Amino acid sequence: MKAAILYALGETPKYGEFNTPIPQNPDQLLISIKAASVKNLDKSIASGAHYSSNTGSFQPIVVGIDGVGVLEDGSRVYAPGLQGMMSEKALIDKNRFVRLPDHLDEVTAAALPNAVLGAAAGLRYRAEVKPGDTVLINGATGVTGRIAVQIAKHYGAKRVIATGRNAASLESLKALGVDQVISLKGTDDEILQAIREIHLHTPIDSMIDYLWGHPAELILQALGGKGKFTHPLRFVTVGGMAGDQIRLSSGILRSADITLIGSGIGSLSEGLMQQLFKEVLPEMFLLAADGKLKIDTVTAPLEEVESAWNEDIDSGKRLVILM
C-alpha cells in the first residue's frame, strides 16, 4: 500500500510503499483511510521531540496518529490508529471510533478532532464554562484557539475575549463569536491596561491559555488583586507556544481568587477522556455538519506529503492529507 513513511526521526516523511497491516486479533479492524490531518503533535513525534517518540532502535513507520476512513461494512468513521494512519489502509480498535454524520465531509472530520479535544476538555472539564460566563482565550488565532472560541459560545459564554498577534486573524475571530480582541503586539503596559479594564467592567470567569510564556505572565499580573475581594477566575493552561516557563509572584495568587490548572491527557481522568471521545466529539461533528462549527483547512494528496509537510501554512488552518 502507499503511505507517508518516516525512515528516521527528524526527517520528513516520504511517499512510498509499505506493508498492508493485517488484524492480529478480533479487536482490530482494517480501515481504508480517506483523510488524515497533520498536527503539531504528529510533527513533534516525527522529529523525536515528543515523549512518545521511539528513540530506541528505530524502524521505518507510517506517520499520523488518527484519520477518517471507511470500514469494511461501508461505515464512515473517525478513529485514532493502532499504528500510523497516513496510508491507504490502517488498523483501529473496534471499540474506539466515531461514526460520521452523513452530511459531514471527510476533510473537516479529519481536521477537527485534535482541535476539539484541545478546546472542549479545557472549557468543559477544567474551566467549567457555564451560560453567562465571560471567557478569555489567550492565543486564539491558531486552529485550536479558533475552535475554542466557537465551543465557548456553544457552551453559553456571554462574552469571549481573544488575544493574538496577527491583526487580520484577530479581526476574523469576530465572525466566529469573539466580542473583543486584544493585540499582543502592544506594549506590556497596553496589554496590562486592556486586561484590567475588561476584568473591572466585565469580570473574567475563566481563561483558556494556549501561549503561556510572557503573555501569561502579563495576564496573571493584570488579574492580581489590591487587598480587596476579587472575582473568582479559573486559569487553564493548555499549551506553551510562547514559552514553557513563566515567572509568577506568590503575591498574585495570594491577592486574587485565581485557580491555576492545566488541561491535557494527564490532567483528565480515564472516564472524562472516554466522555470526550464518546459524547463531546460526536456532538461537535454534528455541529460542524450543520455549519455551526467551522475549521479552515488546506489539502494535499498523499503523494505530495513530503513537500506539504514542510509547507509554511497559516497557523489558523489545518493541513489534511488525502489518500
Confidence band, pLDDT 50/70/90 cuts, at residue 55: low
CA 320 and chain centroid, separation: 15
pLDDT over 90 (residue 49): no
Class of residue 226 by CB neighbours under 10 A (exposed 0-12, middle 13-18, buried 19+): exposed
Query: Which pairing describes strands 89-93 and 28-38: parallel, antiparallel, or unpaired?
Result: antiparallel
Q: Is residue 164 part of a domain?
A: yes
Co-location of 251 and 301 in the same domain: no
Q: Determine contact, residues 45/52, Cβ cutoff 8 Å.
A: yes
Answer with the one of 212, 247, 262 that is the final residue of a domain.
262
| pLDDT top residue among 80 and 226 | 80
Judge whether 187 lies within some domain.
Answer: yes
Q: Which ranges of the chain does DSSP label H, i.e. alpha helix?
A: 40-47, 106-120, 143-154, 167-172, 188-201, 213-223, 250-255, 270-275, 281-289, 305-309
pLDDT at 131: 98
Question: 175: which DSSP letter?
Answer: G
Residue 29 lies in a domain: yes
Task: Kindly report the pTM of this predicted structure.
Answer: 0.93
Residues 279-297: pLDDT tens digits?
999 999 999 999 999 999 9
What DSSP string runs through 229-269? ----EEEEE---TT-S-----HHHHHHS-EEEEE-SGGGS-
Q: Could you report the per-residue pLDDT of 13-32, keeping only the tens digit for each?
A: 999 999 999 999 999 999 99
Decide if 120 is inside a domain.
Answer: no
What is the pLDDT at residue 266?
85
Number of domains in the chain: 2
Last residue of a domain, one of 262, 286, 312: 262
Q: How high is the pLDDT of residue 236?
A: 98
At residue 64, φ and ψ (nearest 5 deg) are: 100, 120
Asked if residue 43 is part of any domain, the answer here is yes
In this structure, are 161 and 102 located in the same domain?
no
The answer as to whether 283 is a domain residue is no
Residue 317 lies in a domain: yes
Percent over 90 (pLDDT), the chain:
90
Same domain, 233 and 137: yes
Burial of 174 (0-12, 13-18, 19+ CB in 10 A): middle
| Domain-terminating residue out of 238, 262, 286 | 262
Q: Please report, rounded to a whole number, the percentage of residues in the chain having pLDDT higher than 70.
A: 98
Grid coordinates representing 115 are: 482541535
Average pLDDT over the chain, rounded to whole?
95
Which CATH number covers residue 154?
3.90.180.10
Domain boundaries, position 96: 2-114+294-322
pLDDT of 42 strictly over 70: yes
The pLDDT value recorded for residue 31 is 98
- 217, 246 Cβ separation under 8 angstroms: yes
- Tell me, yes or no, whether 21 lies in a domain: yes
In angstroms, rounded to a whole number, what is the distance separating the alpha carbons of residues 157 and 123?
10
The secondary element (H helix, E strand) that includes residue 320 is strand 317-322
Q: What does the pLDDT read at residue 144? A: 96
The SS3 assignment for 115 reads helix
Do residues 145 and 239 both lie within one domain? yes
Are residues 139 and 104 part of one domain? no
